[in-house]
Structure 1
Amino acid sequence: MASGLPHPLLLAPLAGMDSITINGEVVNFSHVFYTWIAMAILFSLAFLVRGQIKLVPGKLQNVFEVIIGGLEDFVVSNIGEDGRKIFHVLIALFLFIITMNLLGLVPGFDAPTANVNTNAAMALFTFAYYNWVGLKRWGVGYIKHFCGPFWWLTPLMLPLELISHCARPLSLTLRLFGNIRGEEIVLILFFLLAPIVGTIPIYFLFGLAKCLQAFIWFMLSMIYLKGSLEHAH
């Protein structure tokens, strides 16, 4: 491509295409486009709330205070005061995931989390972050978290713990992907079989399920971070 021209993956969504062929390979990028939409929604809401912060909160500010304040109290009650230091990452993941999940309920839209690539990227970030927090706190001593309670169990526990930790990104990725993609397929089937009667009631159920999946990611990430912050026994 000539220099100065935008990448085709930036132009294609604006042209209404869901995929493009590059060097003979079909590249699907619709999840990237809808991820941008989710980010735009969150940034817009953040600037809107920030510009209207009052001592007596309005409706939108009140909603965010309830969500963020409630989840912060939940984290602190489980991790302790150290939870406040890492809460910004957890709440960012929660709001990002729940926004992407709910996009799938908008007619004509697709949930970015119904694509395994989106989830894999977030899972790898979560994995890298909680290990970085552990290394930052304990230094080289962080390896003790993988060695078991007794030194003589280290040859057995170390490989098992390493495999277990490395499997966490895969578990996070597939759990969210499977649930969201499954809901999208079921929703399409309900719409084809009973466009109004079958779809409207299921919206409420799937809306709750999508919120629950975001909270599960939030809670698992909190548990991983709690483990990395705790003293190794």
Structure 2
Amino acid sequence: MEHPYLILTSFFGMIGLEEWAAAYPHVTYMWLCMIVLIFFGWLAGKSITMVPKAAQNVFEVLISGLEEFMVTVTGDEGRKSYPLVLTIFLFVLLGNLMGLVPAFFPPTANINTTLGLAIIAVLWSHVIGVQQHGFKYIKHFLGPVPAMIPLFLPIELIGHSARVLSLTFRLFGNMAGHELVVGILLGLGGMFLAPLPVMALGAFVALVQAFVFFLLSTMYIAGAIEEAH
């Protein structure tokens, strides 16, 4: 789907990078997403008080609820992975929601963005596994008995590589599909056919896909933490 990129193209045009912004919109909006998250993270940290206000109460409930959910799945050992997984969740959610803003492009509708996120999530699960078990982490790939190592090792390697593909194409497919549907509706009926139903569905899909990415990342970390059998 072609976007006019009204806001950011004009901005980058002032600094001589208009062609670059138009050629790589996912990078442009990925940086915008990071800037927004950093700004609101700084603002939230600056606004924290001992007697929380309504907004602080809401965000504390959401963040602590996600943390407890993750600890329920991974055990207490997975708590140190929560900042990374939460950051990915917030980035994916905001990146998805950008597709609902006119003249904005969701960075998660580009396969390069989703591939990068998937690699980070899957590699981190292996880092946690090595930290938890040391060299014995290799047992996760060798199967239950030594005689079956030649069978289980390639299967496990393929399975772990497929995790990257699964995370990548699930998020990319859903967000690119939503962009395509919006583009078709706008082409057929203009701004009068698309707005409310598609925007509501888009917001729901954005939240679900962000949570699915969060959930799968959590499950991969939990699998790396548990003892190999």
TM-score (norm 2): 0.88
- Which residue is 1:90 aligned to? 85
Cα distance change on mapping 1:122 and 1:114 into 2, 3 Å:
same
Retained in 2: the 8 A contact 1:18–1:30?
Answer: no
Q: 4+ residue runs of structure 1 moved beyond 3 angstroms?
A: 16-20
Task: Find out whether 1:67 has 2:62 as its counterpart.
Answer: yes
Please, which of 125, 128, 144 is the counterpart of residue 139 of structure 2? Answer: 144
User: Deviation of residue 167 (structure 1)?
Assistant: 1.7
Please, which of 210, 220, 227 is the counterpart of residue 206 of structure 2? Answer: 210
CA distance in 1, matches of 2:28, 2:192: 28
1:92-171 counterparts in 2 under 5 A?
92-171=87-166
Task: Show structure 1 runs of 5+ residues with no match.
Answer: 1-10, 21-26
User: Deviation of residue 13 (structure 1)?
Assistant: 6.8
Please, which of 176, 182, 189 is the counterpart of residue 187 of structure 1? Answer: 182
Identical columns (%): 41
In proportion to residue count, which structure has more helix?
A: 2
CA distance in 2, matches of 1:57, 1:196: 42
Cα distance change on mapping 1:176 and 1:13 into 2, 3 Å:
farther
Please, which of 12, 16, 22 is the counterpart of residue 14 of structure 1? Answer: 12
Q: Let me know the Cα RMSD of the aligned residues.
A: 2.0
Q: Which amino acid aligns with 1:17?
A: E
Task: Show structure 2 runs of 5+ residues with no match.
Answer: 1-8
Question: What SS is found at the alignment partner of 2:105?
Answer: coil
- Which 10-residue stretch deviates more, 87-96 or 193-202? 193-202
Retained in 1: the 8 A contact 2:109–2:172?
Answer: yes
User: Deviation of residue 201 (structure 1)?
Assistant: 2.0
Cα distance change on mapping 1:127 and 1:18 into 2, 3 Å:
farther
CA distance in 2, matches of 1:19, 1:178: 25
Higher relative contact order (CA 8 A, sep 6+): 2
- Which residue is 2:216 aligned to? 220
- Which residue is 1:8 aligned to? none
Matched residue count: 217
User: Deviation of residue 136 (structure 1)?
Assistant: 1.7
TM-score (norm 1): 0.87
Question: What SS is found at the alignment partner of 2:143?
Answer: coil
- Which residue is 2:196 aligned to? 200
Question: What SS is found at the alignment partner of 2:114?
Answer: helix
Retained in 2: the 8 A contact 1:13–1:33?
Answer: no
CA distance in 2, matches of 1:58, 1:137: 39
Cα distance change on mapping 1:197 and 1:12 into 2, 3 Å:
closer
Q: Deviations over 1:157-178 (max 9, x none)?
A: 1110011111211221111111
Q: Deviations over 1:65-121 (max 9, x none)?
A: 122111001011111111211111110110111011111111000000101111111
Retained in 2: the 8 A contact 1:31–1:115?
Answer: yes
1:20-35 counterparts in 2 under 5 A?
28-35=23-30
Question: What SS is found at the alignment partner of 1:55?
Answer: coil
